[in-house]
Amino acid sequence: EVQLVESGGDLVQPGGSLRLSCAASGFTFTSYSMNWVRQAPGKGLEWVSYITSSSNTIYYADSVKGRFTISRDNAKNSLYLQMNSLRDEDTAVYYCAREHITMVRGVSLFDYWGQGTLVTVSS
């Protein structure tokens, strides 16, 4: 059974830092690109960051570029998100999500998600 379990969410002051983790199990972690997606309270979904299986390619949303760093440790089947210079607007549930590339024209989708971890940025 595929499982993604996030951890590390907390209450942090504006300007502070936090590191989120996502522990993966039930699949070959090294075969998949991974993502972070967030959802502010009562709001919609916002993609945050992407990393390929070998960490060769990384993308960020403009809203977090220069402040957040995605990484992974394939030996530990783990995905991370280092969050610096946090702002009030970063308050959200953060989900890790696995990317699956389908056989239909290579369309990708987020096929498995964790339960999310809540980050609250407030003084």
Partner 1 sequence: DIQMTQSPSSLSASIGDRVTITCRASQSISTYLNWYQQKPGKAPKVLIYAASSLQSGVPSRFSGSGSGTDFTLTISSLQPEDFATYYCQQSYSTPTFGPGTKVDLK
Q: In terms of Cα–Cα distance, which of 82, 96, 76 is closest to 4?
A: 96
Instruction: Return the structure tokens found at 81.
Output: 């998100």
Give the footprint of partner 1 on residues 42-71 (CB under 8 A). 44-47, 50, 59, 61-62
| 27 in contact with partner 1 (CB under 8 A) | no
Q: Work out how close the CB of 113 gets to partner 1 at its nearest, in angstroms, rounded to a whole number.
A: 4
Q: For partner 1, which is the closer residue by CB, 12 or 114?
A: 114
| 33 in contact with partner 1 (CB under 8 A) | no
| 111 in contact with partner 1 (CB under 8 A) | yes
Asked if residue 44 lies in contact with residue 55, where contact means CB atoms within 8 angstroms, the answer is no
Residues that bind partner 1 (CB under 8 A): 35, 44-47, 50, 59, 61-62, 95, 102, 104-105, 107-111, 113-116
